[in-house]
Amino acid sequence: MADAATLVGALRAAGETTRLRLLALLAEGEHTVKDLTEILGQSQPRVSRHLKLLADAGLVTRNAEGAWAYYRLADTDTAADLGRWLVARLDGDDPGRQRDRVQLEAIRAAQQAQAAAYFAKVADRWDELRQLHVPEEAVEAAIVAALEGRVVDLLIDLGTGTGRMLELLAGHYRRGIGIDASREMIAVARARLTAANIGHAQVRLGDIADLDGTAGRADLIVIHQVLHYFNDPGRAIAQARRALKPGGEMLVVDFAPHELEFLRAEHAHRRLGLSEAHMQGWARGAGLDVRQLTTFPPTTAGGLTVCLWRLQDEQDSR
């Protein structure tokens, strides 16, 4: 429950057309001011002012990452409930909302194209590049240890890249499927699995942010160094959750928060690491519990800390 002043403040903040459009867009995932400016066709100062009013009223939250800031609908408190209630009652066929969705999809497509161009360029030397800033050997040892003594029926590796996780964990699944949006990466992964004589794994071209269900439902999903390429990692986790069996588990590997802005410009990163609080929120929103978090400090000066999260279906963890 909230006092009258809080509710009146939230209603005043939401009671404007542009701010309602912003709430509707943020209900579909996290966005930067730049993205929202392009979608709405308004100036950055004006959009920022609207977002500040919504944040001050408790309707949205702001998270700064280096030079960028991400906004999303607030998760808790009465004002957050009010924001979701208002969005749920907006007409989905309203012409203005449909235009916003078209612009949103265009921005997502442009971001995916940028990432695809990068992966096509680096596919042949991806494993070498991946080790520049991370303690990869220690991370891989921990991933294998997490599955010690277990063999699952189906493992799905989302954003499989060169197929390294399918190769590393080949003794821990009866059937493995790797999914990636890059044709070049898929070609490298397929050749790699063939060379290693791993016949119980296959790779497929697909969008891991929009899974079609054809791979089946997995006992274990691996998302290794993938989520920092998404504007909204929570949306990708929610999609992955749909491909998980009841009681299933996810292993997520990614960077801890950092300030290396050049990774955005030169390596197509969208997020500068994932915080423990963010992962807790994203997991909770997808019906998952964070069972364990292991961190791996950098082994060289200027390196990055890597995190390994173990997520499990909430129902199974009770």
- Asked if residue 11 has pLDDT above 90, the reply is no
What does the alpha-carbon distance between residue 149 and residue 252 come to, in Å, rounded to a whole number?
20
Looking at the DSSP assignment, which residues form a beta bridge with residue 155? 176, 220
Percent of the chain with pLDDT over 90: 35
- Asked if residue 14 has pLDDT above 90, the reply is no
- Per-residue pLDDT at 318: 46
pLDDT band at 9 (very low <50, low <70, confident <90, very high): confident
Domains, the chain, ordered by start: 4-90 (1.10.10.10), 124-317 (3.40.50.150)
- Per-residue pLDDT at 82: 80
Q: N- to C-terminal Cα distance for the chain?
A: 28
User: Is residue 158 within 8 Å of residue 182, measured between CB atoms?
Assistant: no
What does the alpha-carbon distance between residue 171 and residue 115 come to, in Å, rounded to a whole number?
31
Task: Find tokens 């007409």 and name the residue.
Answer: 91
Stated pTM of the model: 0.68
